[in-house]
Chains A and B, each alone.
Chain A
Amino acid sequence: MAYISSGVACSHVPALGVASDSGISNDDYYGPIFKGFEFSKQWIAKEKPDVVFLVYNDHCTAFDARVIPTFALGCAGEYHPADEGWGPRPVPVVKGHRELSAHIAQLLILDSFDITIMNEMEVDHGLTVPLTMMYGQPDEWPCLVVPLAVNVVQYPAPLGSRCYALGKSIRKAINSFPEDLKVCVFGTGGMSHQLQHKRAGLINAEWDERFMNLLVNEPEKGASIEHIEYLREAGSEGIELVMWYVMRGALNEKIEEIHRFYHVPASNTAVGHMILENR
């Protein structure tokens, strides 16, 4: 049977993809960030998940303003890195697991999560940057990926509590898939950041730390953080942290925090990263 072994939380700052792709990930600016992921690369090489269930948001790439699904599940056999305006990132094509995706899609809808099914989808830095941070620059990604795109661009994003409940539903669905598969769930985005208008550059390290602590130890409480708190305390784009709660919901109540890394800044953003193992 398939099972979930672990979760990874990880920012997906586009500049980190650029740094990796252009070979400047060791410089003074980016070096300390990539160093924070050295442990993670070793960890995932040992953990070897067969599938990464990757929760991320699309940045008007696969979905522009014409179509804005709140939750869109990738059900394709492969996902090509998209051209976001500078040509596609030079990273491997992301391979999917169609049968697992189809299984999850069906069970989620029967469990009252009316997701959108994506049989074709290009993926942007929101999905590929976390893979780069965890796996470096392989010729092929060493895992299959089931992407879940969450709308966090147009307000309102789904509630944290809803994301947490969706994670639990995803856990049930994965646990009932008959193939022997080890699954790691990635929750991406964050941490505190605001990219727009006069308050751009907002960082709230104290709040970010509290957020990570709640995520690990008191997820029910953390999942009930209201949108207004994200917007005010973590910045208008910090609200994408609700996606970490899809990951948290997919994990057991009892988990162990294996690794935590926090750094300011990457471009306009506080980078946060955690590895959580089911217990």
Chain B
Amino acid sequence: MAIDKIYDDIPGTVVFDSDYATKGYHLNQFCISLRLAANRDAFKEDPEGYIDKFPMTPEQREAALNQEWNLLLELGGNIYYTSKLAAFHGINFQNLAGLMTGMGEDYRKMMLAGGRQIDGNRYKSEWDDQ
């Protein structure tokens, strides 16, 4: 019997489970390779040549090259990995959250004001109503 993914009803969230991890393996290994300066240099010099060393899907490849942060997660990327690609582009964790939430600078203000409240953010059905 298939695994019952009871966490799939949480809105705006990709739970990086075994299926995502399987799907995203090469994408994540590409991202984490950028932890090392030599690899960052190689990627900077020849982005397409470098990324082609990692046998990811064409969709993942495009999303990585186009910095589509939410799509990368939906295609199996994990935030601790994709954040290394973001860092390569000079985007820190908080700026990255601003991009993923579509809030930009307002994201930092929201955090200073206590963060995103839990009420109304527990179930996908609560977002559908909006």
Q: Which residues of B contact A14 (CB under 8 A)?
A: 93
Q: Is the CB of B28 within 8 A of A197?
A: no
**A102 at interface, CB cutoff 8 A:** no
Assembly CA distance A86 to B40 (angstroms) = 11
Q: Which residues of B contact A84 (CB under 8 A)?
A: 35
Q: How far is the CB of A145 from chain B (nearest CB, A)?
A: 22
Q: Is the CB of B87 within 8 A of A155?
A: no
**A201 at interface, CB cutoff 8 A:** yes
Q: A231 with B15: in contact, given A65-B21, A197-B73, A203-B116 (CB under 8 Å)?
A: yes
Q: How far is the CB of A271 from chain B (nearest CB, A)?
A: 12
Assembly CA distance A231 to B8 (angstroms) = 10
Number of interface residues of B (CB under 8 A): 48
Q: Is the CB of A198 within 8 A of B12?
A: yes
Assembly CA distance A232 to B123 (angstroms) = 8
Question: A50-72, CB under 8 A of B: which get 1 and which 0?
Answer: 00000000011100111000000
Q: Is the CB of A201 within 8 A of B70?
A: no
In the complex, which residue of chain A has the Cβ closest to the Cβ of B98? A200
**A138 at interface, CB cutoff 8 A:** no
Residue of B32, B37, B112, B122 contacting most chain A CB atoms (<10 Å)? B32
Q: How far is the CB of B19 from chain A (nearest CB, A)?
A: 10
Q: Which residues of A contact B36 (CB under 8 A)?
A: 83
Q: A59 with B80: in contact, given A198-B102, A231-B7 (CB under 8 Å)?
A: yes
Q: A232 with B122: in contact, given A195-B79, A198-B102 (CB under 8 Å)?
A: yes
The residues of A with any CB-CB pair to B shorter than 8 Å are: 14-15, 59-61, 64-66, 83-86, 153-156, 192, 194-207, 227-228, 231-233, 236-237, 264-265, 267-268, 270
18 interchain pairs, CB-CB under 8 A: A65-B21, A85-B35, A154-B16, A154-B17, A154-B18, A196-B13, A197-B70, A199-B10, A200-B101, A200-B107, A201-B110, A203-B114, A204-B118, A206-B118, A207-B118, A228-B7, A231-B13, A265-B111
